[in-house]
Structure 1
Amino acid sequence: MSTLLFDRVPRPKVFEDNLWAAADRLRAKSNLKASEYAAPLLGLFFLRYATNRFEKLRTDADAQNVAKQTGRNVEEPEQTYVRVIGFVVPAAAHYDNTLLQLGPNDSAPEMVIAAMEAFEEANPDAGIVLPKADYRKIPDDVLRGILREIAGLKITEGDVFGKIYEYFLGKFALSEGQKGGEFYTPTSVVRLIVEILEPHTGRILDPACGTGGMFVQSAKFVRSHEEAGHLSIYGQEQKAETSMLARLNLFVNGLKSDIRNVNSSLAAGAYADDYADTAGKFDFVMANPPFNVDGVSAADIDGHSLFTTYGPALAAKGKGKTAETYGNANYLWVSLFAMALNETGRAGFVMANSASDARGAEAEARAKLVQDGMVDVMVTIASNFFYTVTLPVTLWFLDRAKTNEAHPRHDQTLFIDARRVYNQVTRKLREFTDAQQQNLAAIVWLYRGETDKFTALRQQYAAALATWRDTTVTDPDFEPARTYYGLAQHRATYATALAELAQQTADWLENAQLLLSPEAQAALAANATWEKNIVALAELTADTLPTDKAGLMALSQQAEALVTFADKELRPAKDKSWTAANLRGGLRQLSEERDLLLFVLERVNYFTAQLAWLDDHFPDGEYRDVEGLCYLASRADIAEQQYSLNPGRYVGVALEDDGRTPEEFKEFVQTQAEQLASLHAEADALQGQIAQDVRVLFMDVVWEEAV
């Protein structure tokens, strides 16, 4: 609930700020190129993160170790740490007790390298190698500064290495990441895939795993839903550096895995050793494979059923011969994902939008997927979810259980068009909020008959709404922590602040009345509403306050106008009572109270809107087609569309839905109007300046001609 309470509320960017400060030091004072920044920072973040997680779980591990001292199965502390936490942080590798305690004669680079070696030696079964190569290229004082910057990182779980790579891809546009998504699939997209895939227990494969973020989110899903759930993790990654990051990422999150570096070809996805044939082996497959790869060798694929069952046929070259390479590997990947599933397995993966409508051999492959009943859910999302590419993508979900003709959804495929569902983080970047993820997943729950999950989500929203409206909420992520006291309390406080400021203004005027200049008296007489507004504000109560943001803001502006008029038009030149009245201080206090009220009001409205979204789209708590959002298609429907799997072909267009709540729309219009007015004013100023410049230029020309 605590995470949901602050959904869509910008979090303090401690992680990003620390990372930026550390990278900035490297950029300014090290001998490293921009493309080399990541490796040393990753190693330091690993030790910081490992220490955080170790200390967070250490108390529980120590208690379990004490309990193990009786009986036959006595454990050493290190054994308990590995069992409970997943690893041991030896003293030499402890970030706080060693790396932040360097003496003046210590060499920071050598101490960091020694710390990493100590960690590797203390965890011999981990099979990880920390990046130690570049620290000697960093000056001692610079490295000490970076250690201090990173010390502020407090996170103890999550896809930390994926976030670091995401950050570098966004800030520095590393050449390795230009194809987009190779290292990192945005967390909000991964969470949506996980919520729809629902990986509880079993074997999970990602044959293009990058830094392992999908595995981390899958394990988090299991932990949040059932304590007994367990996933056996198998992955592969083409780039050796990235596969190493995946191992580190999973290891530091306490997850055991089999991550392999496959640097040959797509066909290497057919594992043939430790866990035998890939076909039919996995309960879940998740992936974000490279899009639109060409030139994959037909000889390399060698007709393997993993790739040919649902893959494209080779193009004909004439005289009975076929092409030596595949023109596009998208459906080779799709076939691999489908064929890796066991009889009840599910797959969820990211694919370029073009694959949903591709023609020729790819259309034939797609038709076979549909005819077999393999395609479960298709979700198209907007552009700008990835740092390095802007193209929109489609999330594919396959369900091998549906290929059984007796399956209740054998003849059904759910299409969701989520292109208008997003949160605009920056001008160039979007993401899903937690509520948006849950709302989209709720459509799938209803389609699958999981109505209890839909009901539980409604209850969560209702509880969040009531929490913000009626109780005290503390946000510990800020320093100092921020506390909110419920809507009624903040309305009362804001009303009191308005009334007190109005009374203070009236008291000041009474004290300064005899000192007013003739000009001030004339201004006061000409402004008939000023004293009326004082009276109106002084009589405000929590019950008479407006209920909307615009009305509350208008009162604040009115109060500011009162004080500004008193200061600029009425205030005598030598008025000591003005300082004593402290009206400007009252305005600052009023602004603080207003902002607290508006924040709580936004939270109440936000969760009210989420409930309305669910109830408006699915009023009976059961699935139904919603124009512009979702459509349940039969295989015959899809055949009529030439086996297109593009949701836009099926859901239609809801012209009246712009994705905004009424409050958000009002704010949008107001913002646009303010921007337009500002642009008009700027245009007028520029026009005047241009006219003046033309007059001056004309005068210069006339003068020169006269001379």
Structure 2
Amino acid sequence: MNVQQLENELWEAADQLRANSKLTAAEYAMPVLGLIFLRHADNRFKAYLPEIEADIPAQVPADQREMLIKLGFQGKAAIYLPEAARFDRIASLPQGNNVGEVIDAAMDVIEAEYEVLKGALPRGYPAFETDLLFDLVKIFDRPAIKAATGDVFGRIYEYFLNKFAMSGAQEGGEFFTPPSLVRMIVNIIEPDHGLVLDPACGSAGMFVQTGHFIEDVRHQQANDTVTFHGQEKSDTNTKLARMNLVVHGLDASNIRQGNTFYDQVEHLVGQCDFVMANPPFNVDGVDTKKVEGQVKPIEQGGRLPFGLPGTNAKTGAISNANSLWVQYFYAYLNDSGRAGFVMASSASDAGNKDRDIREQLVNTGHVDVMMAIGNKFFYTRSLPCTLWFFDKGKPQDLHDQVLMIDARNVYHVVSARSHIFTDEQHANLNAIVWLYRGETDKFVALVAHYQRQVDAWLAAIPGRIAADSATIEQLAAQLQAFAQGARLTELNASQPDDAQLTQAQLDDFKGELAAAQADTCAEGNTNTAIAALLAACTQARAAITRADLASHSGQRTLQAALDALAPQLRSAGKVLEARHKQWLKLIETADKTLRARSSKAFDGKAVRDGRRALLAADPKKNEDPTVRDAVLDALKQAAYFIHQVHWLHSRFPHGLFEDIPGLCKAVTVEEIAANDYSLTPGRYVGVAAAAAEDEDDFAETLREIHDELAELNDKAVELAGRIARNFEGLLG
């Protein structure tokens, strides 16, 4: 779904609460999160319901049918919702009903079904004004939110914590982990068995993504293969974590409240197969006396095997807890365990005792990968970070190496405030790790996947071009009928003298129409460009069919042909867009200049339909893609997946790991020692050689500049309005 669209609709909910509720932010934030829980639970319930109902005979009585539906949800990545808790029932209540009591009752029946949620779900909805609560329910019943997928609960949770002034914890360095970073961690450590620990679990986004990985990649059920253990110091967050796990059909029985600095979960030290976390950054004030007893070997239950970091000379407290977290994640791992976690960028370069801790850590041989991440990935703060990865089961030949990846220049612009990794950026960065680990089969499989995607999009192009051309032909027929049938007398009827149209204007329109019908536009002859593209697509698909996609050499041979096709795809897109603009201009001339609606020869509805087909759909209005969107998307997607293979092959032409300046380098322990045990990737990978910026990178940069400019313009308008209002107030 469109993230910005979701945010816009949530803003409306926030505005409703700020403006109309008698409750404070602290009072209404948790109930709103409970409402989101119901919405998200209903989304997932409906996703699985048809499959479950299909296995139930139609003649089964209603009460037995409901019991069979309930049984059918066992083992699914969703929960069974009793009738009284389904969002449709709440949203369909007539205005005036006590919707607050109905929502409280919904929470009651869910907790009755799921013991692990006892005391976790919010109540107190009757305290909301009835009309306001109805409006909120309607907002959360809109298509964009009903269609929300993925870890939307975690993202919305963090959104409301921030917007409803409950983000005081963020001042202590706590941030909701962006889904992009969670996915990167999960993809690299591949948590698919045993004990999985997150000692700073927040709303349990790490566990949710682990469930997706096991289901989507391993094709298994998470509850059958892993056991989640989570700890969170906040009671509110602990409840939210349980809610988030349960709504995804995951076991939440081992989520506990506790401060990880002091509450040790001793029985898990040295026992975990996987550890993942986004701990609070740069925390100071940890009581040294309470943690100094943890300084002992892991075999003796110690969580700080490399010693204490520095302390504040005045208070005696730990001055920065980053190195505590780093050691915790290491200590909880078993002899073959992997860890992945987010850390402030400063932690990989900090001096004094932090440096000594890093030295000991590096010398274990278990530091696997360090990945630098750029600004704007965090939802509420713009700050860079580093992903750390440990692997106690590293092959012996990699023990004296650490893979450094500088991913600060890899991102996709969502808005001026927000960057993410696309699915393909995730996969491409992950592919670097595969090659480093010698897993070349995964690299070949990824390239094959991209090339099959190219084939699928090339297959879609002829049909979409045909639909686009048919739309143009129909529009041409309508405008031709108007041009031939229009009479000056009807066009000028009831118009003042200075607004009278002339025959010359009609003739000019006919001339422009004739040029457009000849399929000639600013970018060239459309028919010629389309014919050449269709022939090239046919040849490329034939090459894909012949290619040996299971071998790197076969993929390389094929890619040479696909790389040659990419510019033609982009050029064809420009030609089609120019044709669309040409016909949209003709429609505007007919409608606005020539007053075509005054003519009986003008079919207004048919022309409006044609115009709509040549315009982009508005995502804010949940509009379906238009004919124009479909054809341009096919061209862009085909070129996009060609570019993904080009990105990989241009950097790793032999299908083997190589040091790539500005991107990645396998660094030896000796090199790290020579750099004072810094684990900052940028220090090692260097800078990429200057090269011509490709079109995709240029488009990304341009999009970022455009979004930043748009945001600045919006702020300028808002500020101007505020100044005007203040000025009016001063004048009385």
Distance 1:671 1:556, change over 3 A: farther
- 1:122 maps to which residue? 113
Cα deviation per residue 1:655-701 (whole Å; 9 max; x = unaligned)?
5368x64256369779989999xx9xxxxxxxxxxxxxxxxxxxxxx
Whether the aligned pair in 2 keeps the contact of 1:239 and 1:261 (CA below 8 Å) is no
Query: Counterparts of 1:180-579 in structure 2 under 5 Å?
Result: 182=174, 184-228=176-220, 230-264=225-259, 266-268=261-263, 270-272=264-266, 276=267, 278-304=268-294, 305=296, 306-314=302-310, 324-402=316-394, 407-470=396-459, 486-498=460-472, 501=475, 509=483, 521=504, 532=515, 534-537=517-520, 540-541=526-527, 542-543=530-531, 547=569, 548=571, 549-561=573-585, 577=601
Cα deviation per residue 1:52-109 (whole Å; 9 max; x = unaligned)?
434544566678999xx9xxxxx98698367434755344434434x34646785322
- 1:694 maps to which residue? none
Whether the aligned pair in 2 keeps the contact of 1:178 and 1:388 (CA below 8 Å) is no
- AA matched with 2:265: Y
In structure 1, how many angstroms separate the alpha carbons of the residues matched to 2:43 and 2:75? 15
SS in 2 for 1:631: strand
In structure 2, how many angstroms separate the alpha carbons of the residues matched to 1:78 and 1:291? 45
In structure 2, how many angstroms separate the alpha carbons of the residues matched to 1:27 and 1:354? 37
Distance 1:432 1:181, change over 3 A: farther
Whether the aligned pair in 1 keeps the contact of 2:196 and 2:228 (CA below 8 Å) is yes
- 1:662 maps to which residue? 695
SS in 1 for 2:665: strand
Displacement of 1:234: 0.5
Displacement of 1:532: 5.0
In structure 1, how many angstroms separate the alpha carbons of the residues matched to 2:5 and 2:705? 32
* 1:600 and 2:591 correspond: no
Whether the aligned pair in 2 keeps the contact of 1:628 and 1:652 (CA below 8 Å) is yes
- 2:565 maps to which residue? none
In structure 1, how many angstroms separate the alpha carbons of the residues matched to 2:40 and 2:480? 57
Distance 1:348 1:523, change over 3 A: same
Whether the aligned pair in 2 keeps the contact of 1:511 and 1:577 (CA below 8 Å) is yes
In structure 1, how many angstroms separate the alpha carbons of the residues matched to 2:706 and 2:219? 52
Displacement of 1:284: 0.4
- 1:483 maps to which residue? none
How many pairs were matched up? 631
Distance 1:653 1:102, change over 3 A: same
- AA matched with 1:266: F
Of 601-610 and 29-38, deviating more is 29-38
SS in 2 for 1:84: coil
TM-score (norm 1): 0.78
Displacement of 1:157: 6.3
SS in 1 for 2:195: strand
TM-score (norm 2): 0.76
Displacement of 1:113: 1.8
- 2:546 maps to which residue? none
In structure 2, how many angstroms separate the alpha carbons of the residues matched to 1:565 and 1:93? 55
- 1:683 maps to which residue? none
Cα deviation per residue 1:303-332 (whole Å; 9 max; x = unaligned)?
313443234444597xxxx98322111001
Cα deviation per residue 1:194-240 (whole Å; 9 max; x = unaligned)?
11111111101111110100011011111112244611101111111
SS in 1 for 2:369: strand
2:19 to 11, 25, 28: 28
- AA matched with 1:34: A
In structure 2, how many angstroms separate the alpha carbons of the residues matched to 1:467 and 1:381? 32
In structure 1, how many angstroms separate the alpha carbons of the residues matched to 2:602 and 2:68? 68
- AA matched with 2:662: G
Distance 1:410 1:48, change over 3 A: same
Whether the aligned pair in 2 keeps the contact of 1:520 and 1:570 (CA below 8 Å) is no
Of 443-452 and 168-177, deviating more is 168-177
Whether the aligned pair in 2 keeps the contact of 1:312 and 1:364 (CA below 8 Å) is no
In structure 1, how many angstroms separate the alpha carbons of the residues matched to 2:590 and 2:347? 66
Cα deviation per residue 1:455-489 (whole Å; 9 max; x = unaligned)?
2212222222222221xxxxxxxxxxxxxxx2112
- 1:49 maps to which residue? 40
- AA matched with 2:574: A
Displacement of 1:21: 4.2
In structure 2, how many angstroms separate the alpha carbons of the residues matched to 1:579 and 1:224? 51
* 1:643 and 2:681 correspond: no
SS in 1 for 2:115: coil
Cα deviation per residue 1:395-431 (whole Å; 9 max; x = unaligned)?
00011123xxx71210111011110111111111111
In structure 1, how many angstroms separate the alpha carbons of the residues matched to 2:707 and 2:98? 57
In structure 2, how many angstroms separate the alpha carbons of the residues matched to 1:562 and 1:91? 55
Displacement of 1:139: 1.6
In structure 1, how many angstroms separate the alpha carbons of the residues matched to 2:509 and 2:206? 68
- 1:6 maps to which residue? none
In structure 2, how many angstroms separate the alpha carbons of the residues matched to 1:495 and 1:565? 21
Of 492-501 and 616-625, deviating more is 492-501
Cα deviation per residue 1:321-344 (whole Å; 9 max; x = unaligned)?
x98322111001100101110000
Distance 1:76 1:181, change over 3 A: farther
In structure 1, how many angstroms separate the alpha carbons of the residues matched to 2:647 and 2:117? 46
SS in 2 for 1:398: strand
- 1:704 maps to which residue? none
- AA matched with 1:114: A
Q: Which runs of 5+ in 2 are unaligned?
A: 61-65, 297-301, 492-499, 534-567, 616-625, 713-732
* 1:174 and 2:166 correspond: yes
Of 105-114 and 359-368, deviating more is 105-114
Rg larger for = 1
In structure 2, how many angstroms separate the alpha carbons of the residues matched to 1:27 and 1:316? 41
Whether the aligned pair in 2 keeps the contact of 1:521 and 1:570 (CA below 8 Å) is no
In structure 2, how many angstroms separate the alpha carbons of the residues matched to 1:527 and 1:674? 40
SS in 2 for 1:236: strand
Displacement of 1:295: 1.7
Q: CA RMSD in A?
A: 4.0
- AA matched with 1:267: Y
Whether the aligned pair in 2 keeps the contact of 1:366 and 1:643 (CA below 8 Å) is yes
In structure 2, how many angstroms separate the alpha carbons of the residues matched to 1:571 and 1:52? 48
Distance 1:371 1:657, change over 3 A: farther
Whether the aligned pair in 1 keeps the contact of 2:374 and 2:408 (CA below 8 Å) is yes
Displacement of 1:641: 1.5
Displacement of 1:581: 12
Whether the aligned pair in 2 keeps the contact of 1:158 and 1:253 (CA below 8 Å) is no
- AA matched with 1:271: V
Distance 1:27 1:497, change over 3 A: same
Distance 1:389 1:100, change over 3 A: closer
SS in 2 for 1:28: helix
